[in-house]
Amino acid sequence: MGRRKRRVRTQVAIIGAGPAGLFLAHLLARAGVDAVVVERRDREYVEARVRAGVLEQVTVDLMDRLGLGKRMHREGLVHEGTILAHDGGMFRIDMKGLTGGSTVMVYGQQEVMRDLFDAGEERGVQVVFDAEDVALHGLDGSSPHITWRKDGVEQLLDCDFVAGCDGYHGVSRGSMPESVRREYERVYPFGWLGILADVPPANHELIYCNHERGFALASMRSATRSRYYLQCPLDDRLEDWSDDRFWDELCLRLGDRAAAGVTRGPSFEKSIAPLRSFVSEPMRWGRLFLAGDAAHIVPPTGAKGLNLAASDVVFLAEALEQHYLEHSDAGIDGYSARALARVWKAERFSWWFTGLTHRFPETGPLEHRLQVAELDYIRDSRAAQTTLAENYVGLPIS
Ligand code: FAD
Ligand code: PHB
């Protein structure tokens, strides 16, 4: 139990200092709305987590709008296309040409977090780190508050609204009564084994590869840092995967042409991530809003997770600005439906792209031939390529 109790007040309490929480804090600060971010871990931990690597135009625009884009435009890599590969064959999706000029930016989530934290310090974005036992109270009334403990001291924050930006394992979603929540979930029967290595990437654009032995992805963080993934069984252990075994398997799956570009080297990060499609509806209950992974998860195949977190909080910040500056609750009332409309389209795309490129337990020779037939169709159809490109670069904010 804590020794004393400290009580303060803000307008919006934000739980979680991941991309959703910090983007929201910056957007609110810019609009002159008071907010405090309460985070369970320390800054080093949050910043060091190796996760997403591809930013949609919407996220790039958000970084620019917040005046955070300088380093991203200097160090990030603009990608105008991406490669699909199977059975040794490869073809390119010209995203820029097919979408009337849209591209994506390769810039790691770690870099985004560093930019958000650095600028946050200068702009007075308040973040409480190392907050233990965060709890939400009074969400269905007119004066909610949140509590936590830090350094043995009980803390209480009164607020008008709570933004649950605390990821899939956070407390916010579970603070909505089960009777109002509807959850949709699919857990995929495999994981992604990812490595980072300081070697030049295999290709200047990403390669998504369907192989009979499983999916492979050649990605990057910079011209000198590669990020590779292999589909693997969920019960594989990292100890089973020496660097040599990883490089051999990667080259086998990529096929001779793409493998010719692979430079091997020691990995400095190796991890296995599970894959899941998940949506919890609604994204608002009373004075609680959910945003980002707290409300939905996508398998990483479409590179949508971080980008959805960004679009959610663009909608949420607009709604809160309307409430405080225009005294209208239309945005608040419409937030859940507006955010979910975009979320479900990204869920569909990520699910479809995962199905097209991965090996499932039920993938026999027939199913593999069907995947190959669909890949061949995409290769030969401008309409199919346009559909893929539009979704990959990110659907517009509407
Ligand atoms: P998070 O980044 O999860 O942030 C939530 C924050 O809340 C965290 O800082 C957490 O510490 C904090 N928190 C949690 N519980 C509490 C609590 N009780 N109290 C206070 N704070 C709390 N996406 C891609 O597009 N490509 C990828 O390659 C990719 N790889 C991924 C790999 C892994 C292992 C994971 C987990 C995710 C990956 N994602 C990827 C998804 C992407 O990283 C997420 O969609 C993105 O981080 C979502 O941001 P968020 O702010 O909603 O949630
Ligand atoms: C990454 O570089 O981490 C990455 C890129 C594309 C994806 C997923 C992850 O679809």
Task: Express each pLDDT in 162-183 by its tens digit.
Answer: 999 999 999 999 999 999 999 9
* pLDDT for the residue numbered 7: 85
306 confidence band (pLDDT: 50, 70, 90): very high
CB of 109 within 6 A of ligand 1: the answer is yes
**Phi and psi for 160 in degrees, rounded to 5?**
-90, -35
In this structure, the residues whose C-beta lies within 6 A of any atom of ligand 2 are 52-54, 206, 219, 227, 300-301, 303
d(CA 165, CA 114): 18
Considering only CA atoms, which residue is closest to atom 32 of ligand 1? 51
Ligand closest in space to the Cα of 196: 2
Other beta carbons within 10 Å of 335: 22
Q: In whole angstroms, how far apart are CA 135 and each of 62, 125, 145, 171, 313?
A: 30, 21, 9, 7, 21
237 confidence band (pLDDT: 50, 70, 90): very high
CB 8 within 8 A of CB 160: no
Q: How far is the CA of 387 from the centre of ligand 1 (A)?
A: 28
| pLDDT > 70: percent of the chain | 99
d(CA 15, CA 98): 39
Instruction: Give the position of tokens 């608040």.
Output: 332
Q: In whole angstroms, how far apart are CA 8 and each of 17, 35, 74, 156, 211?
A: 19, 12, 40, 6, 56
Considering only CA atoms, which residue is closest to atom 1 of ligand 2? 53
Instruction: Give the position of tokens 């870099």.
Output: 111
* pLDDT for the residue numbered 1: 47
Q: Which atom of ligand 1 is nearest to the CA of 273?
A: 34
CB of 346 within 6 A of ligand 1: the answer is no
Residue 396 is a catalytic residue: no
Convert the pLDDT of each residue in 23-45 to its tens digit: 999 999 999 999 999 999 999 99
Residue 304 is a catalytic residue: yes
Question: What mean pLDDT is reported for the chain?
Answer: 96
Considering only CA atoms, which residue is closest to atom 3 of ligand 1? 167
**Phi and psi for 41 in degrees, rounded to 5?**
-100, -175
Instruction: Give the position of tokens 């977190």.
Output: 309
CB of 293 within 6 A of ligand 1: the answer is yes
Q: In whole angstroms, how far apart are CA 240 and each of 107, 212, 243, 247, 361?
A: 30, 21, 10, 13, 21
* 212's tokens: 């009979």
Tell me which of 26, 79, 211, 323 is the catalytic residue: 79
Q: Which atom of ligand 1 is nearest to the CA of 297?
A: 45
Considering only CA atoms, which residue is closest to atom 53 of ligand 1? 167
* 19's tokens: 């991309």
State the pTM of this model. Answer: 0.97
DSSP 55: E
> In 81-235, which ranges are E strands?
82-86, 89-93, 104-106, 126-128, 132-137, 145-150, 153-158, 161-164, 182-197, 207-210, 216-222, 225-232
Residue 79 is a catalytic residue: yes
d(CA 311, CA 295): 13
CB 255 within 8 A of CB 126: no
